[in-house]
Structure 1
Amino acid sequence: MTGAGQIPRKPYFYGVPAGRRRFDVPGGPPDGGGPVTKGGTAMDHPERRLLISVDMESYSRRGNILQYEAQQAFRELLQAAAAAVGLDRVTWSTQRAGDGELAILPRDVSESRVIGRFVPELNRRLRAYNSSRLPAARVRLRIAVHQGLVHLDGANGFPGNAVVFVSRLCDADPVRRALAAFPDAGVALVVSTDIYRDVVSEYPEEMRPERFRRVRISKPDKGFDEYAWLCVVDEDLSTVPAPTGEGPDGPEGGAGSPAVPPPGPVRPDFAQASPGGGISVGDVRVRGQNAIGPGATAIGSVGRDAILGGGDR
């Protein structure tokens, strides 16, 4: 209750654990803080979370019965894959659509478990499910993973630029093409640069970082132009050539360039033959017979003359 002359405070919405119902707490939080106010609207502080956007391939081309079956399989397969690796989907805050979902994961979730174990497990289950079905009835998924600030108390979803970002990744043409290139695959996975650097490359678990390709995802009409990392789980994306005019610097990406340079020593491929024999490397020219690198053999004089170009010696 409020005393005479006091203005009653608006109820404060606590940020509650994912999967539980929000409730009004009169008087605000116990530490005396209050909700963020913008434009006269009270809202919770945003929280940094892991976000997953999942979309089903070719869902709208299905008839009613196949859509119904696909939705059932989608939900059951995600639930089973999560449980198999020790994740509880009840704690995920989800915004569902018929052909997919946006999931905001709990604060304490293991990112390496989500990417390195949950995604491969889901891929295996999808492949097994699809193996006994006609192409029109198969469930194949595009999955995007990102992290960022998100409001959990939105009136009609989860407000936040991170939500927009992960949704753009999931819907990108390079991701669609990559999945389409492998008819037996279950999952095409695209992750933001931060996720690739901090999780995939450092704690891959069952994933193979060298199978990821850097792609550029550009949507000029949406004001979106970002790089991301793409793979088709248990497939080799390098076997698929990038469409003409595309690549890591193209308008929409493509297969992109290898995430990890091929092993082996760095070779001086910029070395050129000099007139009259010998080689030149930059400002250095060596005449006569030459031997370069371990185990190299030369007949005759080796490195007879070395001529340096301009600059410091």
Structure 2
Amino acid sequence: MQHPERRLLISVDMERYSRRSNLQQYEAQRHFRELLHEAAGAVGLDRVAWTTQQAGDGELAIVPREVSESRVIGRFVPELNRRLRNHNSSRLPVARIRLRVAVHQGLVHLDGANGFPGNAVVFVCRLCEADPVKKALAAFPEAGVALVVSTEIFRDVVSEYPEEMRPERFVRIEVAHPDKEFREYAWLCVVDEDLSGTPIPGVVPTVGDGPAQAVEKPTDNVEAEPANSGTGHGGIRTGDIRVKGQNAIGQGATAIGSVGRDANFGTRRGNTR
């Protein structure tokens, strides 16, 4: 067994594939591959160098280490969306290709006997299958791509390069697969669409009143702090961290707690106030 490698992972799934006839599935697969290759080539990416695991209605792609994450999310995904919209504009709904795209990063074994072992692979596929992502794409019939990224990708890539990614267009969602014991936060957008006025199940309010922030994964250990607790404001207690002010409700945000996890990034930092 070789050592695993840390790579960018992309899971892509086609909407309503199983509802197509045999011939429609055949044509959809052909157009799917063509559109992905053309979009990548248009922004200077060589998809031939990507390691992929194919499925009839999508694929898992493991991107080479030297490929820029911001180029994938900030240029490849919008170009793919543009080409999908153009492709679909002259076709009946049953022949249109609309995609859910999930992006994550993590350790993956490239020498698996029947695929690519690694929890990061499982994670990105769970994001792509999430119900809020499906509902968001369905809410915009003219859209080409619903993009969902992990908290790490949102924090390290989307938030850091706003001129390319437009982080204000993302909403935080809860991805839950109870039958698979999976429950995490992620960030969702429908490319070139505004989700702010569209009710989508699973959307979770962002932290604070400013730009969207990455937050720690969901926890069941959450309790409301009584307004008369003596701390001066109401708030939310999560483990040993109590978040008050605009990050919960109202003004005057502070975070008080003993040694524990930072409320945004899950890093142990000692006593904070």
Alignment TM-score, normalising by the size of structure 1:
0.66
Q: 1:236 and 2:194 equivalent? A: yes
Structure 2 gaps of 5+ residues are 212-231, 234-273
| Cα RMSD (Å) | 1.6
| Local SS of the residue matching 1:239 | coil
Please report how far the alpha carbon of residue 205 of structure 1 lies from its aligned counterpart in structure 2 after TM superposition.
4.5
- Aligned residue identity for 1:231: C
Q: Hey, what does 2:34 align to over in structure 1? A: 76
* Partners of 1:49 and 1:105 within 8 A in 2: yes
Q: Hey, what does 1:127 align to over in structure 2? A: 85
Return the alpha-carbon distance in structure 2 between the equivalents of residues 233 and 65 of structure 1.
Answer: 29
Return the alpha-carbon distance in structure 1 between the equivalents of residues 33 and 71 of structure 2.
Answer: 19
Please report how far the alpha carbon of residue 228 of structure 1 lies from its aligned counterpart in structure 2 after TM superposition.
0.2
Return the alpha-carbon distance in structure 2 between the equivalents of residues 71 and 169 of structure 1.
Answer: 22
Among 106, 116, 121, the residue aligned to 1:158: 116
Q: Hey, what does 1:299 align to over in structure 2? A: none
Among 139, 155, 176, the residue aligned to 1:197: 155
Instruction: Map 1:79-158 to 2 at 5 A.
Output: 79-158=37-116
User: Which of these two proteins has the greater Rg computed from alpha carbons?
Assistant: 1
- Aligned residue identity for 1:109: V
Return the alpha-carbon distance in structure 2 between the equivalents of residues 198 and 104 of structure 1.
Answer: 18
* Partners of 2:132 and 2:200 within 8 A in 1: no
Q: Hey, what does 1:186 align to over in structure 2? A: 144
Return the alpha-carbon distance in structure 2 between the equivalents of residues 84 and 257 of structure 1.
Answer: 36
* Partners of 1:211 and 1:259 within 8 A in 2: no
Q: Hey, what does 2:209 align to over in structure 1? A: 261
Please report how far the alpha carbon of residue 65 of structure 1 lies from its aligned counterpart in structure 2 after TM superposition.
1.1
| Local SS of the residue matching 1:147 | strand
Please report how far the alpha carbon of residue 242 of structure 1 lies from its aligned counterpart in structure 2 after TM superposition.
3.6
Please report how far the alpha carbon of residue 69 of structure 1 lies from its aligned counterpart in structure 2 after TM superposition.
0.9
Aligned residues: 213
* Partners of 1:120 and 1:206 within 8 A in 2: no
1:259/1:151 CA distance change after superposition, 3 Å: same
Q: 1:222 and 2:170 equivalent? A: no
Point out 4+ residue stretches in structure 1 off by more than 6 angstroms: none
1:234/1:259 CA distance change after superposition, 3 Å: farther
Q: Identity across aligned pairs (percent)?
A: 78
Return the alpha-carbon distance in structure 2 between the equivalents of residues 176 and 242 of structure 1.
Answer: 10
Return the alpha-carbon distance in structure 1 between the equivalents of residues 115 and 3 of structure 2.
Answer: 15
Q: Hey, what does 2:3 align to over in structure 1? A: 45
Return the alpha-carbon distance in structure 2 between the equivalents of residues 260 and 183 of structure 1.
Answer: 31
Please report how far the alpha carbon of residue 258 of structure 1 lies from its aligned counterpart in structure 2 after TM superposition.
5.0
Q: Hey, what does 2:263 align to over in structure 1? A: none
Return the alpha-carbon distance in structure 1 between the equivalents of residues 196 and 207 of structure 2.
Answer: 11
Q: 1:167 and 2:115 equivalent? A: no
